[in-house]
């Protein structure tokens, strides 16, 4: 397990981790303006991160989630997503959204395991917003798959 806490506005965000999930520093800088950064720490060192941002009055979005490479595949990603869902619930939101690439097979698995369901496709989102082509798992990343977690009444 790792300790997860909200980063204060005075602290420097863990850029290396944030850029693992999102290759565009400009895109990340934009959502950091209004999003809250949470860091997952082990022995005081940041090994995980997520960013939660309000997108509608009752909806928050997980804009970024990443675990340092050496620590991946050990359940920390699941812990971060579960924490984000819990934060959203405590703060009274009705839904948590997340988006990922059509090529991000493992992420699609992880989010569905955490209770998210697919709600839509933002066609050509990545081709429109990123200068360099993104290829993973032998697939060109073109479309953003939108997923949503809805709290029970
Ligand atoms: N290879 C195989 N399976 C993977 C995987 C990978 N690279 N990444 C996640 N999974 C699957 C696992 O199979 C696991 O399922 P299981 O419990 O049935 O075995 C599930 O996802 C959760 O794994 P977990 O160990 O909690 O995930 P993680 O700590 O590796 O964190 C990410 C997942 C996506 C946050 C992490 O891999 C990461 O930082 N990736 C780079 C950044 C990124 O892509 N962020 C998301 C952008 S949308």
Q: How far is the CA of 116 from the centre of ligand 1 (A)?
A: 15
Question: Which of 38, 40, 73, 118 to mutate for ligand 1's pocket (most ligand atoms within 8 Å of CB)?
Answer: 73
Identify which of 97, 98, 106, 112 to mutate to test ligand 1's pocket (most ligand atoms within 8 A of the CB).
106
Residue nearest to atom 10 of ligand 1 (CA): 106
Taking each helix axis from N to C terminus, what angle separates 105-113 and 76-90, rounded to the nearest 10 degrees?
50
Residues 5 and 39: beta-carbon distance below 8 Å: yes
Tens-place pLDDT, residues 16-56? 999 999 988 999 999 999 999 999 999 999 999 999 999 99
Specify the residue with its C-alpha closest to ligand 1, atom 42.
21
pLDDT confidence of residue 63: 97
Max distance between CA atoms of the chain, in angstroms, equals 43
- pLDDT tens digit sequence for 46-95: 999 999 999 999 999 999 999 999 999 999 999 999 999 999 999 999 99
pLDDT in tens, 108-153: 999 999 999 999 999 999 999 888 999 999 999 999 999 999 998 7
- Dihedral of alpha carbons 12, 14, 20, 22, sign: negative
30 C-alpha to ligand 1 centroid (Å): 25
Distance CA 6, CA 36 (A): 7
């Amino acid at each position: 397990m790792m300790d997860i806490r909200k980063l204060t506005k005075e602290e420097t965000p863990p850029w290396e981790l944030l850029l693992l999930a999102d290759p565009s520093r400009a895109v990340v800088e934009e959502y950091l303006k209004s999003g809250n950064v949470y860091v997952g720490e082990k022995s005081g060192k940041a090994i995980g991160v997520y960013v939660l941002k309000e997108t509608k009055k009752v909806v928050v979005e997980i804009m970024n989630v990443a675990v340092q490479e050496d620590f991946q595949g050990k359940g920390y990603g699941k812990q971060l997503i579960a924490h984000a869902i819990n934060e959203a619930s405590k703060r009274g939101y009705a839904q948590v959204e997340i988006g990922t690439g059509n090529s991000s097979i493992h992420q699609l698995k992880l989010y569905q395991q955490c209770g998210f369901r697919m709600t839509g496709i933002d066609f050509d989102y990545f081709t429109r917003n990123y200068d360099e082509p993104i290829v993973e798992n032998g697939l060109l990343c073109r479309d953003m798959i939108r997923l949503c977690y809805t709290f029970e009444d």
